[in-house]
């Protein structure tokens, strides 16, 4: 009997990979190994709708389809190492799993603050269901919430916390929130909208330490001031879950470098035919934009890359892999929707609507559109999507 | 025929489904989702793709 396809990572990417293998005709054994105790669930609501309500696995779990009923799901099991030459992975219990093909779907984990007085209660991350359950408990009216990081997650938590009646301050090193993806003008406008909702920004500022004995009581900043804090939310980015891949001569500089077909590449340029990388970790060239290998950490990418990897594995892939990156974020009544890779732009301009209301921005590199983002006006944003097909 | 249901309490009108099954889903002039409640069996794989890309996981095929 041949060895199973082993998928390491049991989040959305791992689930979609198992489903896609079945859809494209693979009938052999599949093992999915994930370190979280839960069956795959949808993460975006954790910083938005779900955080505003009671948080439960049931509310966010993906539907289990009949096609994957015979998959061997191993939850709560961390993979420790892999030996690609011998085609095995070893889990934390010392059990060895030989594979016919390996799918890397371990994604990212939250980066946390490193401070001298760090052993305190009241520190939160926002990535897993358990994170959201713990944070939800503390977002009570009047709670003084300090969010470190002004990316999408930090801003979504800020909006949710304001709705729940918390007092909210955002601390971040940049000039405006979400500036790197959105560009200065739209980012400044989003800051104004957050301020109008009562959020305080301490931009161009970093956290130097925490104040408190058992629980967080305050946050010390590099301008010498201290702000009071009951609930600290650390939304400062992520680390790659790639330690288990070390020692295999892969290019792990950021994510895992792959071919356009999502096969892992050795540092020598040689390709592993039976090792695929999907989701946030896949650093692949996308011919829509150029030949540069890039990661795309958007929600639609695990599903797109899983489908492609399954097509390649089963011999059903046609043409180049050209997924259109897409993201959205909801903050109060501001519904942002974007296509493309906004951060590639050397020029950003308003192309429809009014900056003070609903509006659409175009993102251009050397005069070519590389991204589009709107507040509202979804039909207009969707029309520009055709530029990337 | 297949029967399609969208939980409108979950739907946030992102319109990602529109590109997977354009004969079933569309955004109207107010940017709200509209969909046909039934479709031919040949649409099943497109609707399943739409289910996968729905950020709110609001779409189901009623069996």
pLDDT tens sequence across B4-55: 999 998 898 999 999 999 999 999 988 999 999 999 999 999 999 999 999 9
Cβ contact, residue pair A300, B60, below 8 Å: no
How many separate domains does chain B show?
Answer: 1
Cβ contact, residue pair B53, A300, below 8 Å: yes
Classify domain A111-237 at the CATH class level.
Answer: alpha beta
Partner-chain residue, chosen from B31, B55, B60, that has the shortest CB–CB distance to A376: B31
Q: According to the model, what pLDDT value does residue B29 have?
A: 86
Chain A segment 228-257 residues within 8 A of B by beta carbon are none
Cβ contact, residue pair A377, B31, below 8 Å: yes
This model of the complex carries an ipTM of 0.91
Q: Is the pLDDT of residue A45 over 90?
A: no
Question: How many CB atoms sit inside 10 A of residue A331's CB?
Answer: 24
Torsion A341-A347-A350-A351 (CA) sign: negative
User: Alpha-carbon dihedral of residues A293, A298, A300, A303, nearest 10 degrees?
Assistant: 60
Classify domain A5-107+241-313 at the CATH class level.
Answer: alpha beta
User: What domain range includes position B45?
Assistant: 2-62
CA–CA dist B44, B54 (Å, integer):
15
Q: According to the model, what pLDDT value does residue A50 have?
A: 64
- The CATH code of the domain that includes B8 is 3.30.70.20
CA–CA dist A336, A342 (Å, integer):
13
Domains of chain A, by residue range, sit at 5-107+241-313, 111-237, 333-388
Residues of B in contact with A379 (CB under 8 A): 15, 27, 29, 31
Confidence of residue A388 (pLDDT cuts 50, 70, 90): confident
B61 touches A: beta carbon within 8 Å:
no
Q: Do domains A5-107+241-313 and A111-237 have the same CATH topology?
A: yes
Q: How many CA atoms lie within 13 A of A329 on its CB side?
A: 18
CA–CA dist A28, A45 (Å, integer):
34
- Which site among B50, B55, B58, B61 would you substitute to test the A interface, given the most A Cβ atoms closer than 10 Å to its Cβ? B55
CB neighbour burial string for A228-246, b if at least 16 within 10 angstroms, e if fewer: ebbbbbbbbebebbbebbe
A353 touches B: beta carbon within 8 Å:
no
Q: Is the pLDDT of residue A54 over 90?
A: no
């Amino acid at each position: 009997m041949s060895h199973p396809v082993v998928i390491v990572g049991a989040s959305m990417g791992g689930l979609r990979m198992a489903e896609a293998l079945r859809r494209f005709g693979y009938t052999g054994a599949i093992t999915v190994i994930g370190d979280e105790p839960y069956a795959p669930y949808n993460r975006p609501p954790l910083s938005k709708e779900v955080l505003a309500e009671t948080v439960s696995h049931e509310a966010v779990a993906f539907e289990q389809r009949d096609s994957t009923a015979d998959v061997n799901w191993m939850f709560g099991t961390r993979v420790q190492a892999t030996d690609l030459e011998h085609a095995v992975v070893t889990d934390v219990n010392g059990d060895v799993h030989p594979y016919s093909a390996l799918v890397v779907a371990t994604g990212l984990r939250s980066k946390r603050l490193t401070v001298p007085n760090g052993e305190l209660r009241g520190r939160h991350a926002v990535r897993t269901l358990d994170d959201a359950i713990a944070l939800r408990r503390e977002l009570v009216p009047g709670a003084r919430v300090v969010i470190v990081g002004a990316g999408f997650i930090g801003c979504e938590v800020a909006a949710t916390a304001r709705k729940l009646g918390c007092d909210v301050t955002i601390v971040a090193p940049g000039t405006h929130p979400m500036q790197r993806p959105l560009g200065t003008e739209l980012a400044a406008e989003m800051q104004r909208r957050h301020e109008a909702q009562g959020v305080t920004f301490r931009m161009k500022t970093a956290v130097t330490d925490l104040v408190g004995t058992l629980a967080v009581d305050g946050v010390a900043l590099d301008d010498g001031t201290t702000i009071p804090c009951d609930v600290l939310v650390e939304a400062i980015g992520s680390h790659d879950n790639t330690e288990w891949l070390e020692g295999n001569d892969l290019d792990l500089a950021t994510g895992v470098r792959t071919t356009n077909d999502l096969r892992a590449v050795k540092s020598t340029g040689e390709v592993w035919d039976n090792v695929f990388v999907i989701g946030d970790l896949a650093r692949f060239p996308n011919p829509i934009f150029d030949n540069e290998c890039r990661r795309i950490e958007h929600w639609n990418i695990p599903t797109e890359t899983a489908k492609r990897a399954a097509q390649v594995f089963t011999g059903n892939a046609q043409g180049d892999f050209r997924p259109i990156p897409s993201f959205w974020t909801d903050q109060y009544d501001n519904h942002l929707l974007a296509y493309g890779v906004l951060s590639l732009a050397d020029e950003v301009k308003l192309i429809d609507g009014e900056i003070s209301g609903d509006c659409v921005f175009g993102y251009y590199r050397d005069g070519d559109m590389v991204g589009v983002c709107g507040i509202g006006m979804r039909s207009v944003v969707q029309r520009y999507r055709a530029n990337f097909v | 025929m297949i029967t399609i249901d969208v939980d409108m309490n979950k739907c946030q009108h992102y319109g990602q489904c529109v590109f997977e099954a354009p004969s079933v889903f569309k955004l109207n002039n107010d940017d709200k989702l509209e969909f046909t409640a039934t479709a031919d069996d040949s649409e099943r794989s497109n609707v399943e793709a739409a289910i996968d890309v729905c950020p709110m996981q609001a779409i189901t095929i009623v069996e």
